Amino acid sequence: MSAEDRHTRPRDAMLGRIRAGLAATADDGARKAAVAARVKKRSAHLVPERVAKPADGLKTLLRGFLEGQSATVIDAATPGDVPSAVARFLRSNNLPQRVRTGEDPFLAGLDWSKEPTLERQSGRAQPGDEAALSHAMAAVAETGTLVMTSGPDNPVTLNFLPETHIVVVAAQDIVGPYEAAFDRVRSAFGQGVMPRTVNLVSGPSRTADVGGKLVTGAHGPRRLCVIIVDNRD
């Protein structure tokens, strides 16, 4: 059996059994049209009332959920305030002034000269890294959820390997429901196209597997710090 056969034979047999169960045929135009239309439609089924709010209301909602999930939320009035916010957060948690970060142009373009002792190492996370710094492409107010997209700008391992994760998100990138965030992913990457990973992150890592008691810091970050930047130009 060729490699081609090893794939198509079980595939066709499985699809055939599914069609038999559904009493459907492979060439039913109406069914195909229904599926094609549904995949193209992409409209939200139901958006919870709680996100029917102006921008500052969404920001408050986002902050409330994140803090409820034991994340730290910091406001930065301008992008220029981000470096000192990062440095202060590290200091207040007795962490060295060092973060791992990707090539994100927004983060790279900040004025880091104000924090000369804060070292930024570039690239994917390494096992010894204590803190990472990422830029979220959006945040979903509905449940306090950051939307991270993988790539050289924001390597996926930064979200999970270090014990501390600091995420910067622009206030203008706060959206109400999940669907609005996915629309942003679509406009950034193309319809039906996704980066290798899209991570929805809603707090530090946690588990309740030991006796049903909630513990933060299971395998991923123990601390999540979210810096919301206003007035990003």
Q: Which stretch binds other proteins (CB under 8 A): 74-82, 83-91, 106-114, 140-148?
A: 140-148
d(CA 44, CA 201): 21
Judged by beta carbon, residue 57 or residue 123, the one nearer other proteins is: 123
Among positions 95, 198, 230, 232, the unique one binding other proteins when judged by CB under 8 A:
198
Residue 194 binding other proteins, by CB under 8 A = yes
Residue 3 binding other proteins, by CB under 8 A = no
* Contact characters 70-89, other proteins, x per CB under 8 A: --------------------
Among positions 1, 3, 5, 46, the unique one binding other proteins when judged by CB under 8 A:
46
d(CA 183, CA 190): 10
Smallest gap from Cβ 231 to other proteins, in A, equals 29
d(CA 180, CA 186): 10
Residue 34 binding other proteins, by CB under 8 A = yes
Judged by beta carbon, residue 33 or residue 55, the one nearer other proteins is: 33
Count of residues that bind other proteins according to CB under 8 A: 82
Judged by beta carbon, residue 110 or residue 181, the one nearer other proteins is: 181
Residue 32 binding other proteins, by CB under 8 A = yes
Judged by beta carbon, residue 85 or residue 161, the one nearer other proteins is: 161
CA 201, 136, 193: angle at the middle one, nearest 5?
90
Judged by beta carbon, residue 137 or residue 229, the one nearer other proteins is: 137
- Judged by CB under 8 A, the chain residues 92 through 131 that form the site for other proteins are 102, 123-125, 127
Among positions 129, 145, 170, 228, the unique one binding other proteins when judged by CB under 8 A:
145
8 Å CB contact between 91 and 98: no
- Judged by CB under 8 A, the chain residues 171 through 190 that form the site for other proteins are 177-179, 182, 185
DSSP per position, 34-83: HHHHHHHH---S---GGG-S-HHHHHHHHHHHHHHTT-EEEEESSGGGHH
8 Å CB contact between 159 and 220: yes
Residue 58, burial from CB neighbour count under 10 angstroms (0-12, 13-18, 19+) = buried
Instruction: State how far Cα 206 lies from the chain centre.
Output: 17
d(CA 137, CA 163): 22
Residue 230 binding other proteins, by CB under 8 A = no
Q: Which of 223, 205, 225, 224 is nearest to 215 (CA)?
A: 205
Among positions 54, 105, 128, 192, the unique one binding other proteins when judged by CB under 8 A:
192
